[in-house]
Amino acid sequence: MEIQKRNQEYHPTSLQIFTTKIDAIQVMKEIKTKSAVQVMESNAFTLATARKESGIEHAEKLIGQFVVETANALNMMSSISESSIQAIAEDVYSVGFFLNIEELGFFFKQLRRGVYGELYNNLNSIKVCTALNRYISERFSYFERKSISEHQANKESAAKRTNEDESFRAMVRKSVMKYNSTK
């Protein structure tokens, strides 16, 4: 309810359509102390899950809420229309439907901080999607490195077990031969 009131204060049109059960401000507070890795590996629900459970409108409203909070934080509410917010929400969903809610909050926090470039007092779909593609590329690189690292660790572990098995077999053979020679 508080966010709805705040949205209307900044932009008195019908921005309440962007309020949902999830509060973008609360998500932003919860991820404040988390690293990028913790956010990416979070088990929070994804946008695709939100769509499956409540429909695409719910997922887009959720994204719209992050857009509104970002625009508010950057003092851009007077330069962004409701249709622009809706377009950004639709485009962000189509590009990043697999992101979890914490990643979405983290992305918008990084966008607000200028990590993906200056917005120059203009928040639009092209800038947001370009930044989101860069975030997704970084995310894929992280998971690729993690997967390769885990694969290498598993390979080394298997090789170590094989070497241990071979040394154990050699020891058994030696013991059996020694036992047989004493008979």
Q: Per-residue pLDDT averaged across 59-87, rounded?
A: 92
Q: In whole angstroms, what is the distance from residue 147 CA to residue 167 CA?
A: 30
More confident residue, 46 or 151: 46
**Predicted pLDDT at 23:** 64
d(CA 77, CA 79): 5
Distance CA 126, CA 39 (A): 24
Tens of pLDDT, residues 32-57:
767 777 777 777 788 888 888 889 99
How far does the chain reach from its first CA to its final CA, in angstroms?
Answer: 89
Q: What are phi and psi of 46, to 5 degrees?
A: -95, 170
Average pLDDT over every residue of 80-97? 95
pLDDT score for 168: 73
User: pLDDT per residue over 14-31, tens digit each?
Assistant: 334 344 445 666 776 777
Q: What angle do CA 51, 111, 120 make, to 5 degrees?
A: 125
Burial profile 162-178: b = 16 or more Cβ within 10 angstroms, e = fewer: eeeeeeeeeeeeeeeee
